[in-house]
């Protein structure tokens, strides 16, 4: 407040102090450089070298409304994470990474929302009034200096982004993540698509940091499966036991990581025949199978992805074991095909060959198939989809990569992928014997391609039918 002397000199009196004015301690931090920051710097250098003389804009994305004034939990775009090594709850919505061309490469600046100020400036009430971004509402953000220190990149306030993007500079943008950025820079469809492809392909081969984070995610995922087996008996007592299974795994995901890599599939009985069953509203009955497909996302946003099909009672019936053993044999054949230099599709072909031979031996060819039916289509009625995918920051990682580098490419040391064959006999499928109807089995594990083969990252989880029964008995 100004005193009477100020008023005597004609100055306008200040507004009375409000309940949030003044009295705040300085709490600036000095965070160390994030462990993944050095790897992110190498990725930024590779991106700079790929597009010299051009401005590159990679937004993190923003908040999405769940209902009225509640937002979904924020998760930044995977390309943004890859280039910054941002971590879990520290990620700030509406951040934008800008590569500004210079004579020798690029100057990289992270435009982001700083910590809510308390100095009475233009945003001086944000910390207590803004329900979406205010510190009292959603928690403390880093200061710009803290972000720069932790991520090893220059920072600027998000408010400075628009003037920074002016000028007639050839630009490439990761589109569809920030409507304001998309509006500021005219679209260049081919150039932007090329950028998206490069950002995706640059994640195909994982570096040491990424492999370490995937190990963390997979280990936590394995722990979640142990938790579920320990809760199976209780789940059978509930009308919606699938929800209990889902919640059991999800608790582990939140305890050990940032959360889920994807929505948990807890499919009991005939629900196991639905590839992405996520309603999880059915019972879990003794005598049925439970197909659990789930993954923990680490704080670094790397995710695991494992599937096990479990006999709820602890023991497979004869017909369940027959289906399970065929899928297990198919997965084992697919695993044996994993090695550097092999075609990406070789593991799928190997697994499908085993499934086809097994189904033929059972006399199961879909109704209406003829000798002219292509081999790739002949068994899709019971297999439906492929048998694996790349894994990393996304569960289905690197999806924007060109076919020649991914689906039509060859495996390399540093690739991480899943092998997950399955058989799904729909409950109303009259082309299969009644005893098979309603049985769905999938087995999925995560693999790192090495210099001389492949390492199963999820090997701590039993795969074979006998081992699964023994494991379940030890936890009941």
Three-state SS string over the chain comes to: CCCHHHHHCCCCCCCCCCCCCCCCCCCCCCCCCCCCHHHHHHHHHHHHHHCCCCEEEEECCCCCEEECCEECCCCCCHHHHHHHCCCHHHCCCCCEEEEEEECCEEEEEEEECCCCCCCCCCCCCHHHHCCCCCHHHHCCCCCHHHHHHHHCCEEEEHHHHHHHCCCCCCEEECCCCCHHHHHHCCCCHHHHHHHHHHHHHCCCCCCHHHHHHHHHHHHHHHHHHHHHHHHHHHHCCCCCHHHHHHHHHHHHHHHHCCEECCCCEEEEHHHHHCCCCCCCCCCCCCCCEEEEEECEECCCCCECCEEEEEECCCCCCHHHHHHHHHHHHHHHHHHHCCCCCCECCHHHHHHHHHHHHHHHHCCCCCCCCCCCCCHHHHCHHHHCCCCCCECCCCCCCCCCCCHHHCCCCECCCCCEEEECCEEECCCCCCCCCHHHCCCEEECEEEEEECCCCEEECCCCCCCCHHHHHHHHHHHC
Q: What pLDDT does 323 receive? A: 98
Q: Which two tokens stand for residue 175?
A: 């589109």
Provide CB contacts within 8 A for 43, sequence distance 6+: 82, 83, 202
pTM of the complete model: 0.94
Provide CB contacts within 8 A for 388, sequence distance 6+: 334, 347, 348, 417, 418, 419, 420, 444
Residue by residue, pLDDT tens for the chain (476 residues) are 334 444 444 454 445 558 898 899 999 999 999 999 999 999 999 999 999 999 999 999 999 999 999 999 999 999 999 999 999 999 999 999 999 999 889 999 999 999 999 887 778 899 999 999 999 999 999 999 999 999 999 999 999 999 999 999 999 999 999 999 999 999 999 999 999 999 999 999 999 999 999 999 999 999 999 999 999 999 999 999 999 999 999 999 999 999 999 999 999 999 999 999 999 999 999 999 999 999 999 999 999 999 999 999 999 999 999 999 999 999 999 999 999 999 999 999 999 999 999 999 998 876 556 666 676 677 889 999 999 999 999 999 999 999 999 999 999 999 999 999 999 999 999 989 999 999 999 999 999 999 999 999 999 999 999 999 999 999 98
**Over the range 279-295, which residues count as b (16 or more CB within 10 Å of their CB) and which as e?**
bbebbbeeebbbbbbbb
Q: What pLDDT does 365 receive? A: 74
Please give the Cα distance from 431 to 421 (Å, whole number): 21
Please give the Cα distance from 442 to 271 (Å, whole number): 12
Q: What pLDDT does 366 receive? A: 65
Q: What pLDDT does 7 receive? A: 42
For residue 204, how many C-alpha atoms fall within 13 Å in the half-sphere facing its CB? Answer: 20
Q: Which two tokens stand for residue 292?
A: 């659990």
What angle do the packed helices 465-475 and 208-235 form, to 10 degrees?
70
Neighbours of 260 (CB within 10 A): 20
Q: What pLDDT does 375 receive? A: 64
């Amino acid at each position: 407040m100004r005193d009477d002397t100020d008023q005597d000199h004609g100055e306008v009196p200040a507004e009375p102090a409000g309940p949030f004015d003044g009295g705040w301690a300085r709490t600036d931090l000095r965070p160390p450089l994030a462990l993944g920051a050095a790897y992110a710097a190498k990725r930024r250098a590779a991106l700079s070298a790929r597009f010299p003389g051009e401005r590159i804009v990679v937004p993190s994305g923003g908040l999405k409304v769940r209902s009225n004034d509640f937002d979904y939990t924020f998760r930044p775009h995977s390309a943004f994470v890859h280039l910054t090594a941002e971590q879990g709850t520290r990620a700030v919505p509406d951040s934008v990474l800008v590569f500004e061309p210079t004579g020798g490469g690029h100057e990289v600046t992270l435009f982001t929302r700083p910590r809510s100020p308390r100095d009475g400036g233009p945003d001086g009430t944000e910390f207590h009034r803004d329900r979406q971004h205010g510190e009292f509402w959603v928690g403390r953000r880093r200061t710009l200096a803290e972000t720069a220190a932790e991520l090893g990149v220059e920072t600027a306030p998000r408010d400075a982004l628009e003037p920074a993007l002016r000028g007639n500079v050839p630009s490439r943008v990761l589109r569809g993540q920030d409507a304001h950025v998309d509006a500021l820079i005219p679209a260049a469809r081919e150039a932007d698509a090329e950028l998206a492809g490069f950002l995706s392909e640059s994640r195909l081969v994982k570096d040491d940091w990424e492999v370490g984070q995937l190990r963390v995610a997979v280990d936590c995922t394995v722990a979640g499966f142990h938790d579920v087996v320990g809760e199976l008996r209780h789940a059978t007592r509930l009308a919606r036991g699938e929800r209990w299974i889902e919640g059991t795994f999800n608790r582990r995901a939140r305890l050990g990581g940032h959360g889920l890599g994807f929505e948990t599939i807890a499919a009991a009985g005939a629900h196991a025949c639905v590839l992405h069953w996520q309603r999880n509203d059915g019972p879990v009955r003794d005598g049925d199978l439970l197909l659990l497909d789930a993954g923990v996302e680490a704080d670094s946003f790397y995710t695991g992805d494992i599937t096990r099909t479990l006999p709820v009672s602890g023991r497979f019936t004869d017909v369940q074991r027959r289906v399970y053993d065929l899928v297990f044999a198919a997965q084992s054949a697919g695993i044996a095909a994993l090695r550097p230099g092999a075609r990406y599709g070789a593991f799928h072909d190997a697994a499908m060959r085993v499934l086809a031979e097994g189904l033929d031996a059972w006399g199961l060819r879909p109704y209406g198939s003829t000798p002219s039916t292509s081999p790739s289509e002949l068994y899709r009625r019971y297999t439906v989809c492929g048998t694996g995918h790349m894994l990393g920051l996304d569960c289905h990682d690197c999806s924007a990569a060109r076919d020649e580098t991914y689906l039509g490419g060859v495996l390399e040391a540093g690739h991480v992928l899943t092998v997950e064959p399955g058989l799904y006999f729909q409950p109303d499928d009259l082309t299969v014997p009644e005893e098979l109807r309603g049985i769905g089995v999938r087995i999925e594990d995560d693999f790192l391609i090495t210099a001389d083969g492949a390492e199963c990252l999820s090997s701590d989880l039993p795969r074979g039918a006998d081992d699964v029964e023994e494991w379940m008995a030890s936890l009941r």
